[in-house]
Structure 1
Amino acid sequence: MKKFFLLLLFCHVSSSVKHSLKYFLTASSGIPDFPEFMGWGLLDDTLAGYCDTNIKRVEPKQDWVKTYFDKDPQQLEWYTTECTKILPKAFKTRISSSMQQFNQSGGVHILQRINGCEWDEETGNVFGFMQYGYDGEDFLSLDLKTETWMALKPQANIIKLRWDADKLRMKHYENFFSQICPEWLKKYVDHGRSSLLRTERPSVSLLQKTPSSPVSCHATGFYPDRAMMFWRKDGEELDEDVDRGEILPNHDGTFQMRADLNISSVSPEDWRRYDCVFQFSGVKEDIIKRLDEAEIRTNRVPPSEFPAAAVIGVVVGLLLLLLCISGLFIWRRNNNGFRPANISDSTSETSQQPLTDHSRFIMSATRCRYD
């Protein structure tokens, strides 16, 4: 499965005149509340559409795909039928066949297929491909030149022989990959060319929360999402002490990604040996950020920059409060007592009694507060 996802996410277009149409299909069994079948369509490695057996429809993922389906509703209907009816049934049967070959009676199993075609706009060459994976490992691959299947696992041999004998199916594959798929690919490229050729370079920054935190190399605002980011030391790509994040969408349709470097074991004099590299598919020039403390952005406040006025204000306030309390106790010790004046003859006897020490303290505190 790892190989399949790497092919899906990190396949790069080496030239601006090469185009590809890929279908990435996944079926599963034994997973509750999970779609039994899912499909992705990618044009030049950019997600164009998606479907699964839960939503039971095809969802265009690019504006140009929506307008294309508006112009050609029959093709949208074809994709919908394939994704919601034909392929889920076929993949369910193929999972059962694969389980038999592996002597499996139950459990969670995943069958994947990637197929499509590539077209070189400059030379006109067309190349078709189809490969299956089962439970995360390569399983079967179609050789269109010999019109035979290659068993990539011993358990696939029986399926290979059965599929090789199905000449009608092989004829269908040969026609699809040499005629239909390239024709669709050329139409899609013509219709979505302005979007496909759009390129926006990112802004790349070095971020760090605390001096002991990893340094994050963060790129945002790039388009399309065919990009990679990694850290190097002395020009060699690093795998250890590096945490690569996924490519995530921004609200404006662009993308962002990050790669974190653990610097806990890096001495300050060795920082200059590290740099972060952002690579854009189809763009020869990389964006490189050298590990430099002066380049790191952070939201922490160094002690030297902590607001001095605030510190002085707090200290002065505490001193005034201490002075007020000290004066209060001095006054209580030297004063003979505070007695309220008679307000009227009707004042009760209780109101004319001397105040208790607690009352004097409250009255004195009030004077100290408001005088």
Structure 2
Amino acid sequence: MTPLIFLILVGIQGSTAVTHSLKYFYTASSGIENFPSYVSVGLVDDVQISYCDSKTNKNIPKQDWMDEVRSEHPDYWKEETETCLVKQQTFKISLETAKQRFNQTGGEHIYQQMYGCEWDNETGEVKVYDQFGYDGEDLIILDSNTQEWIAPRTQAVITANKWNNDRYDLEHEKIYLTHICVEWLKKYVNYGRSSLMRTVRPSVSFLQRFSSSPVSCFATGFYPNKTEMFWRKDGEEIHDDVEKGEILPNNDGTFQMSIYLDLSSVPPEDWTRYECVFQLSGVREDLVTRLEKNKIKTNEVNSTFMLIIIIVSVIIFGFIAAAGFILYKKKTGRKRAVISDEMKPSTSRSETLISRSEILTSSLQTLTSSLQTSSLTSISSDDSKGSSS
């Protein structure tokens, strides 16, 4: 079984021309800052249709066409909100139980359930699944063939045995997954048919990080996400030295994918023998792109271009250095000239100083004469006062 991983799926889209799916993810968490303690997400053909968390406490549609459900079920979103509130409490208890089973108290922990159904609209075949995970690993899984719960972890054996002994609940689980889930899936597909059934071909390009790195055939902008991608050599599919990447969502609702080929041991003249093949569900013609070395986009700068940059940089640096030296010499020459001028005796300055000295001497002589006259007058006056008395 593929381990459950903690993913809040927002805006991820996809579909197939034949098989459709309905999935629900319920996630409870603890110890994660700035993140809701509970989140629920519903998806049809991997397109998000609903969302609810412990902060908003309201289940809301994530696609415009999901509002059409009100025409048949006016209280649909009210009931979905009530389900969200009940699940919050249930999953909070389940998370604490799991922590006790694993002898854990603090830290970041996640308890998650993923369940749903797949329906083939040509053959009518139905597949169902229901599984629980804890901290990114499978905890309890429903075997749809035997209709029994399996516990990959010893800490979950007690719960699995308890659920297996509840025959009524097992029967209810089977009816929901094989009938009720499928009926709702058919309704949702009908509501969103124009969006879910479209096909968009990708743009394909070759990328290479460095000359020694594998060549990546990169396809982006395609829809749906049901696709195959592989390398061919001389018209034959190859698997050696090939590594396939995951299908990832773009922000606009389309997808991207890469497949890598190691050509380190292949002479460049033989690269044209290779081609990248992209197959999209619902499109009959394959998109085939032949590998040509001059069409590979790389992060490595061309050596000739790099040499030109270096030469130009050296020339520019030389001009800047020369200009700086010239300016320095000019400034140095001006400073020397000023210092030389200040060291030379100036006739006008000497004459000015002499003139100022003469004026100062004359003023002092006048002031001395005035003081002497004033002193004599004062003495004469004092003598007169004395004689009067």
- The TM-score, its normalising length taken from structure 1, stands at 0.67
Distance 1:2 1:119 in 2: 21
Letter of the structure 2 residue corresponding to residue 295 of structure 1: K
Query: 1:208·1:296 contact (CA, 8 Å) conserved in 2?
Result: yes
User: Where do 4+ consecutive residues of structure 1 move more than 6 Å?
Assistant: 6-13, 230-234, 260-266, 304-308
Report the counterpart of residue 121 of structure 1 in structure 2: 121
Distance 1:143 1:224 in 2: 29
Distance 2:127 2:276 in 1: 35
Report the counterpart of residue 183 of structure 1 in structure 2: 183
Q: CA RMSD in A?
A: 4.5
Q: 1:151 Cα deviation (Å)?
A: 2.3
Q: 1:45 Cα deviation (Å)?
A: 2.6
SS of 1:3's equivalent in the other structure is: coil
Q: 1:76 Cα deviation (Å)?
A: 1.9
Distance 1:50 1:231 in 2: 39
Report the counterpart of residue 37 of structure 2 in structure 1: 36
Q: 1:228 Cα deviation (Å)?
A: 6.3
Q: Deviations over 1:194-221 (max 9, x none)?
A: 2111010101011356656764433222
Report the counterpart of residue 131 of structure 2 in structure 1: 131
Larger radius of gyration: 2
Q: Deviations over 1:164-196 (max 9, x none)?
A: 233443343233223321111111111111211
Report the counterpart of residue 95 of structure 2 in structure 1: 95
Q: Establish whether residue 201 from structure 1 lines up as the match of residue 201 from structure 2.
A: yes
Higher fraction of helix: 2
Query: 1:8·1:45 contact (CA, 8 Å) conserved in 2?
Result: no
Q: 1:11 Cα deviation (Å)?
A: 12
Q: Establish whether residue 54 from structure 1 lines up as the match of residue 55 from structure 2.
A: yes
Q: 1:246 Cα deviation (Å)?
A: 6.4
Query: 1:250·1:256 contact (CA, 8 Å) conserved in 2?
Result: no
Q: Structure 1: any 5+ residue segments left out of the alignment?
A: 333-348, 351-371
Identity of aligned residues (%): 46
Q: Which residue, 233, 238, 253 being the options, matches 1:235?
A: 238
Distance 1:82 1:226 in 2: 31
Number of residue pairs the alignment of both structures matches:
318
Report the counterpart of residue 217 of structure 1 in structure 2: 217
Distance 1:281 1:88 in 2: 38
Distance 1:285 1:222 in 2: 14
SS of 1:199's equivalent in the other structure is: coil
Report the counterpart of residue 353 of structure 1 in structure 2: none
Distance 1:59 1:176 in 2: 22
- The TM-score, its normalising length taken from structure 2, stands at 0.64
Distance 2:228 2:39 in 1: 26
Report the counterpart of residue 25 of structure 1 in structure 2: 26
Distance 1:117 1:256 in 2: 25
Distance 2:13 2:67 in 1: 25
Distance 2:125 2:213 in 1: 50
Q: Deviations over 1:51-78 (max 9, x none)?
A: 3223433343333224445764422222
Q: Deviations over 1:270-328 (max 9, x none)?
A: 745765554535556654545431221458567379999x97xx89x97xx99xx8xxx
Q: Establish whether residue 294 from structure 1 lines up as the match of residue 294 from structure 2.
A: yes
Report the counterpart of residue 166 of structure 1 in structure 2: 166
